[in-house]
């Protein structure tokens, strides 16, 4: 899992300077009324970190976990990410994901085969959801920063 944690940290360091160059105004532009702005995408990634921290730690604590899904559009809408400072969002996103990398790096290998279902879907191992998390992050960062060419193997098998 050290490689997954390192990959996540590398992604964070790679994109941070590019995110910081985006203006508050540009970050709030919605490409279409029903599409998320860059600010809302980053907010979603904060929500994803929050939900996945819960998945990771709770799945470590028991052999199998049934976890709730989350209504991502509702979360993004009701947290009003488009009215939040872009720089504050970046800082929070970076710090939260640095902590997620720390969790992944230090997971007890004995827990990696513990399983989770998410809103009745799948039977995923902890190892899989940790690895897939880093890919999910890249998938959404590519929507914010298409010009930097992040490599992603995103499978979109569960609602992160």
Q: How many CB atoms lie within 10 A of CB 13?
A: 11
- pLDDT band at residue 159, thresholds of 50, 70 and 90? very low
**Separation in Å, CA 145 to CA 2, 29, 42, 107:** 26, 14, 11, 30
Full-prediction pTM beyond 0.75? Answer: yes
Angle at 16 between CA 15 and CA 22, to 5 degrees: 95
Q: Are strands 121-125 and 64-67 parallel, antiparallel or unpaired?
A: unpaired
Could you tell me the CATH superfamily of domain 2-21+38-148?
dinb family like domain (1.20.120.450)
- For 75-134, how does the pLDDT look when each residue is reduced to its tens digit (9 = 90+)? 999 999 999 999 999 999 999 999 999 999 999 999 999 999 999 898 999 999 999 999
**Separation in Å, CA 108 to CA 56, 95, 130, 158:** 11, 22, 13, 23
How do the domains of the chain map onto residue ranges? Answer: 2-21+38-148
Contact residues for 147 (Cβ-Cβ < 8 A; gap 6+):
18
């Amino acid at each position: 899992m050290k490689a997954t944690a390192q990959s996540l940290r590398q992604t964070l360091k790679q994109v941070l300077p590019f995110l910081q160059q985006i203006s508050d105004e540009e970050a709030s532009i919605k490409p279409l009324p029903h599409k998320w702005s860059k600010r809302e995408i980053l907010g979603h990634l904060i929500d994803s970190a929050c939900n996945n921290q819960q998945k990771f730690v709770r799945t470590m604590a028991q052999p199998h976990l049934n976890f709730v899904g989350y209504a991502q559009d509702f979360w993004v809408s009701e947290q009003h990410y488009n009215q939040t400072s872009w720089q504050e969002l970046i800082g929070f996103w970076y710090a939260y994901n640095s902590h997620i990398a720390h969790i992944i790096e230090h997971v007890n290998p004995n827990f990696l085969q513990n399983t989770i279902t998410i809103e009745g879907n799948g039977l995923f191992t902890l190892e899989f959801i940790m690895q897939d998390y880093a890919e999910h992050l890249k998938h959404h960062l590519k929507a914010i920063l298409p010009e930097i060419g992040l490599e992603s193997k995103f499978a979109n098998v569960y609602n992160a």
